[in-house]
Amino acid sequence: MRYLLLLTLFLSSLYATKINDVSSIVGVRENQLIGYSLVVGLKKTGDGTTSKFTLQSIANMLKAMNIDMRAVDIKSKNVAAVVVTATMKPFARQGDKFDITVSSIGDAKSLEGGTLLMTPLKGVDGKIYALAQGSVSIGGRNLRGAGTESHPTTGIVFEGGIIEREINIDLFHQEYAMLSLKEQGFKNAVAIQKAINGYYNTQVAVALDSRSIKLKRPQNRSMIEFLAEIQEIEMQYKAKSRIVINERTGTIVAGVEIEIKPIILTHGDITIKIVENKDVAQPAGSVVVDKNLVIGLNENEIYTKEGTTTVANLVRSLQKLGATPKDIISILEAMKSAGSISADLKVI
């Protein structure tokens, strides 16, 4: 497997951003829909006789069309049982169309060339919000980050869903609204409060906690106009430093400004000693990475100039030492557990 090591920058300092980029309006959200149905018209790549629920579904469908057929008498391999999933956008109206995802739940080999039969799509409350039907496409588009060639039992029906029931969100007549920060933080909540109140030169926003900001609509604006203006207001936002690790692929995304406290760590045959000095020494047998970073290969020591001991430098040093992506991931996890790294560590 080929590993990719990716370094990018998550700024830990304040930067200007729009309120819309760091918060969402409470109540304005997507809704997940799900349904069960059959895909027909397959070229003998459908479910076999071992998928009894598929055979029973075919029998039930034929019975609804006044054709009496027992499930045990059905031998067709041109049908597959599928789960249909979709996302209903906020403020979706009757007649709006959207894409749906179709996934086999039986032992079908492929859904290529199949047609999804009419499928009721339900919400978490059990009510039907949409109907789905149409030709299934499994080629020419990646699904969920993977090539469709390796997932012939998953496909998309483009604009195959149609809204039948609306979810009413009456923002226009509301006097109050609520913002929710995408990442909680008291400092950012207060910064949004100050930015909004400064824009209107009056008290229209109040931070209730580290994530919630309550808004009161001004008398001379509708709620829609008010929210539209608020989303475009710029504020000083402080993003959290974060290291993201994908253990499956070996990908590491880390901030170049994330500092590491001095530590001595042993992992397998790699022993690392991180020390801070005002000047970077160059011991015998060392390798100079840059003016702030020297690696002592004989003792597996990493020397960094004071204030430059960062995750980015550490990862580069470990690469020079011949550490594998798996080794680097384990070392970063151990450093986080030991308190040497203060940034959030997310493993996916």
Distance CA 136, CA 43 (A): 13
**What is the chain's mean pLDDT, rounded?**
79
- Phi, psi torsion values for 190, nearest 5 degrees: -70, -35
Domains and CATH numbers, the chain: 15-27+170-236 (3.90.1150), 31-163 (no CATH), 242-347 (no CATH)
At 102 the pLDDT is: 96
Tokens 């001004």, residue located: 218
At 255 the pLDDT is: 63
Please name the residues in contact with 101: beta carbons below 8 A apart, sequence gap of 6 or more. 84, 85, 86, 143, 154, 155, 156
Q: Taking a C-beta distance cutoff of 8 angstroms, is the pair 55, 49 a contact?
A: yes
Stretches in the chain below the pLDDT threshold 70: 1-15, 73, 140-151, 247, 250, 255-257, 269, 271-309, 321
At 7 the pLDDT is: 32
| Token pair belonging to 324 | 């594998």
Instruction: Tell me the CA distances in angstroms from 214 to 15, 113, 137, 292, one per residue in order.
Output: 23, 51, 45, 47
Distance CA 198, CA 286 (A): 55
At 51 the pLDDT is: 80
Distance CA 261, CA 239 (A): 21
Q: Is 136 in a helix, a strand, or coil?
A: coil
At 56 the pLDDT is: 85
Please name the residues in contact with 242: beta carbons below 8 A apart, sequence gap of 6 or more. 10, 255, 343, 344, 345, 346
249 dihedral zone (left: phi>0; alpha: psi -120 to 50; beta): alpha
Is 0.75 topped by the overall pTM?
A: no
Q: Taking a C-beta distance cutoff of 8 angstroms, is the pair 210, 179 a contact?
A: no
